[in-house]
Amino acid sequence: MYLKGVGPARAEALRRLNIITAEDLLYHLPHRYEDASTVAPIASLEPGMDATVIGTVVSKGVIPTRKGLRIFQAVVRDDSGMIEVSWPGQPFLDRAVRKNDVLLLTGPVRFFHGRQLHPREFVNLGEEAEGTHEGRVLSVYPATEGMSFKQIRSLIDQHLDALLALVTEYLPPDILARVGSPPLGEALRLVHRPSSIADAMRGRMRLAFEELLFVHILQLRARALARERRAGITFVNKRELTSALKAALPFELTRAQTRATREIVEDMASPRRMHRLLQGDVGSGKTVVALFAALLAVENGFQAAIMAPTELLAEQHARTLERMLEPMDIRPVLVTGSLPARERRSAAERLSSGAPLIAVGTHALIEQSTTFGKLGLAVIDEQHRFGVAQRAALGQKGERPDVLLMSATPIPRSLALTLYGDLDLSTLDERPPGRLPVRTALRPESARPRILEFVDRELEKGRQAYVVYPVIDDSEKTDLKAATTMFEMLAAGPFAHRRLALLHGRVPAADRDSTMRRFRDGEIDVLVATTVIEVGIDVPNATVMLIEHPERFGLSQLHQLRGRVGRGADEAYCILLGDVGDEARQRLEIFAGTEDGFEIARADLTLRGMGDLFGQRQSGVPTFRVADPLRDEELNLLAQEVASDVLEQDPELTRPEHTGMRRVLGERYGRAIELFRVG
């Protein structure tokens, strides 16, 4: 469709904003709103306030400072008065802001030779002073060079009615009613031209819901088709070894463990191949759940393999399993790179013989030379520590064995359902009873001597401690304390009379394992380290986790670190040491206030965004224009429910009330073509 008022130059600018068709323009949504009713008169501003004002630029310029920083400054005026506005380090704004432009500014008011506003954000409303913001919500659009926000707004405004007349609804009325959503045309109008923020949010909700609904429909359909196609082993739940294990365990399973075990057993007993993720916080007891699965394989005459990311973890699992399996007279077979040649050979022979057994090991399990005669179950612990190819490799060591992935970075269910489209999900959302909380505190630099004394008293009692740093070496770029230098410092001073060891990513793997073994065996008192100790290590005698520069770590990472202590009967401590800014303090206080890994993951995701936590490489992570699966969590759960109901009644979306959705799915998502017979 041809748009009036768009010449070639503006068309180019619009293209940069991904606006090519008229529909793109309609879906170019405000990224935020300014509610003009909250705008304060300039005369009323006081230092310490956080304010939004609208004012006309009366003068402006760039001023250099002695430190070489260049500051863009402007004086703006409204009917009530004037104020100086300052943008340190942003001299380029001099080109974007002209005299007589009207600016909408939000930020703190400071005292600096008088009142000064330091905008966190601002919008240049252009030259015509719009004195008519009263009672109106201002839609703010993403803009680009050559196309100011104001030009975009007026372009959209000009065409909105014509575009809306072309919009047809494709969601069935009963879904709209269930969600309480306005129809599409109405929603788009509300988003572009709201009369209140609440209106805008109602419109936005509809668009977000639709995105989430469509992603869930695609994921659920893909998962259902994949399951149908995935032929696998049909295990028989004989209740021989599994019942024996249950009877022999020194504890009762938690409800969550029972539920997860049941889900896994059902999966394994079905003729389809299991492809399941077991997620649960540190210490939620994933290992024993995996062991039930392994025993089910063994009692059916198959082999099971459990792969862990480090030798130490593999050894630890082997030891745990050995203890739990003793009454059944089963010994796990350990397979790691550092086994003596003779043991390695005998392990290899047993694996290739096909005799029913449980193998526990490192990536040695997936080496070419390792063959399994009859692998029925592949378990991958701390799955995020392995690459996609490594995870797949274990699954390829047998005839379509069932696969169980385990993860200690739990994410909210709604998000997991959105992210891991092809996996079934079991969650341990409860921890075994009776564990003491780890006492967590944030302490300033000035408390360092006291903290070190405190740690030393714990050591005196025979306990052990971890001290963690964000970097290995000193570098010129940062003034962060580094593990290597602090190791020497601590060894020379505060802990001179203790046994210290240093551990980081550049220590060769074999030395790393031997250091960890010595720490585990109590031959080292203090382990000075980087985050290499993050993964699943269990040393019950360690009671202190001291973390320097805590602001450098993500909350989930801190949570993993904290999980290294508090594994014994003694009170344990996690101390975050350092002077941190306000923002970091807020973050760290969330962490100190809870030991719930889900809550922490949620906070982490909200603060850092999904990209950071999962990396951009995580393929198959859907991207959203409007929705945020985490912030819109309730809506996301509702969308999932609706998607599942729709597919249950009409798996191919062929009913008349669903054909509209199917058409839009086909237009919008390439994948839909394979999943539904579209077009």
Q: Alpha helices, DSSP H only, in 375-508?
A: 388-395, 413-419, 448-460, 483-492
Task: Give the residue with the Cβ less far from ligand ADP, 316 or 640.
Answer: 316
Task: Answer whether 386's CB lies under 8 Å from 601's CB.
Answer: no
- Residue range at the interface with Mg ion (CB under 5 A); choices 51-59, 111-119, 472-480, 534-542: 534-542
Task: Give the residue with the Cβ less far from ligand ADP, 284 or 418.
Answer: 284
Binders of Mg ion in range 478-497 (CB under 5 A): none
Task: Give the residue with the Cβ less far from ligand ADP, 284 or 557.
Answer: 284
Task: Give the residue with the Cβ less far from ligand ADP, 258 or 352.
Answer: 258
Q: Choose the contact partner of 282 out of Mg ion, ligand ADP, none; CB within 5 to 8 A by kind.
A: ligand ADP
Task: Give the residue with the Cβ less far from ligand ADP, 344 or 567.
Answer: 567
Which residues fall within 8 angstroms of residue 195, CB to CB, at 6 or more apart?
Answer: 136, 137
Binders of ligand ADP in range 405-424 (CB under 6 A): 408
Q: Choose the contact partner of 288 out of Mg ion, ligand ADP, none; CB within 5 to 8 A by kind.
A: ligand ADP
Q: What number of chain residues touch ligand ADP (CB under 6 A)?
A: 15
- Residue range at the interface with ligand ADP (CB under 6 A); choices 15-23, 47-55, 85-93, 245-253: 245-253
Q: Which residue is nearest to Mg ion (CB)?
A: 536
Q: How far apart are CA 130 and CA 102, in angstroms?
A: 8
Q: Choose the contact partner of 111 out of Mg ion, ligand ADP, none; CB within 5 to 8 A by kind.
A: none
- Min dist CB 543 to ligand ADP, Å, is 16
- Min dist CB 275 to Mg ion, Å, is 20
CA distances from 365 to 352, 381, 401, 628 (A): 12, 13, 15, 39
CA distances from 157 to 26, 76, 125, 571 (A): 10, 28, 15, 63
Q: Alpha helices, DSSP H only, in 563-621?
A: 582-593, 597-608, 610-614
Phi, psi of 626 (to 5 degrees): -110, -45
- Min dist CB 286 to Mg ion, Å, is 5
Q: Could you say which of 56, 124, 148, 254 contacts ligand ADP (CB under 6 A)? A: 254
- Min dist CB 316 to ligand ADP, Å, is 8
- Residue range at the interface with ligand ADP (CB under 6 A); choices 17-25, 252-260, 301-309, 330-338: 252-260
Which residues fall within 8 angstroms of residue 270, CB to CB, at 6 or more apart?
Answer: 232, 234
Task: Give the residue with the Cβ less far from ligand ADP, 394 or 672.
Answer: 394
Q: How far apart are CA 292 and CA 277, in angstroms?
A: 15
Q: Which residues of 637-648 are buried (b: 16+ CB within 10 A; e: fewer)?
A: bbbbebbeebbe
Phi, psi of 414 (to 5 degrees): -60, -40
- Min dist CB 248 to ligand ADP, Å, is 13
Q: Choose the contact partner of 432 out of Mg ion, ligand ADP, none; CB within 5 to 8 A by kind.
A: ligand ADP
Q: Which residue is nearest to ligand ADP (CB)?
A: 285
- Min dist CB 312 to ligand ADP, Å, is 13
For residue 37, what are its two tokens?
């009713």
Strands 402-407 and 464-468: unpaired
**What's the distance, Cα to Cα, between the start and end of the chain in Å?**
23
Query: Contact between 597 and Mg ion (CB under 5 A)?
Result: no
Task: Give the residue with the Cβ less far from Mg ion, 285 or 421.
Answer: 285
For residue 597, what are its two tokens?
């890994």
Task: Give the residue with the Cβ less far from Mg ion, 536 or 566.
Answer: 536
Angle at alpha carbon of residue 228, lines to 222 and 233, rounded to 5°: 130
Return the DSSP state at 521: T
Query: Contact between 536 and Mg ion (CB under 5 A)?
Result: yes
Phi, psi of 517 (to 5 degrees): -65, -45
Best CA proximity match to 550, nearest among 587, 499, 522 = 587
- Min dist CB 279 to ligand ADP, Å, is 9
Return the DSSP state at 208: H
Task: Give the residue with the Cβ less far from ligand ADP, 230 or 435.
Answer: 435
Task: Give the residue with the Cβ less far from ligand ADP, 75 or 253.
Answer: 253
Return the DSSP state at 41: P
Task: Answer whether 462's CB lies under 8 Å from 526's CB.
Answer: no
Site string for ligand ADP, 255-294 (x = CB under 6 A): --x----------------------x-xxxxxxx------
Query: Contact between 112 and ligand ADP (CB under 6 A)?
Result: no
Q: How many helices (H) and strands (E) does the chain have?
A: 24, 21
Q: Choose the contact partner of 417 out of Mg ion, ligand ADP, none; CB within 5 to 8 A by kind.
A: none
- Min dist CB 290 to ligand ADP, Å, is 8
Strands 402-407 and 375-380: parallel
Q: Choose the contact partner of 280 out of Mg ion, ligand ADP, none; CB within 5 to 8 A by kind.
A: ligand ADP
- Min dist CB 598 to ligand ADP, Å, is 14
Residue 307 DSSP SS3: strand
Task: Give the residue with the Cβ less far from ligand ADP, 280 or 401.
Answer: 280
- Min dist CB 520 to ligand ADP, Å, is 14
Best CA proximity match to 662, nearest among 221, 226, 225 = 221
CA distances from 96 to 147, 169, 532 (A): 12, 41, 47
Binders of ligand ADP in range 424-463 (CB under 6 A): 432
Dihedral angle of Cα 566, 567, 571, 576, to the nearest 10 degrees: -20
- Min dist CB 280 to ligand ADP, Å, is 5
Task: Give the residue with the Cβ less far from Mg ion, 30 or 536.
Answer: 536
| Exposure on the CB side of residue 136, measured as CA atoms within 13 A | 10
Best CA proximity match to 546, nearest among 458, 490, 467, 463 = 467
Q: Could you say which of 253, 607, 664, 678 contacts ligand ADP (CB under 6 A)? A: 253
Site residues, ligand ADP (CB under 6 A): 251-254, 257, 280, 282-288, 408, 432
Site residues, Mg ion (CB under 5 A): 536
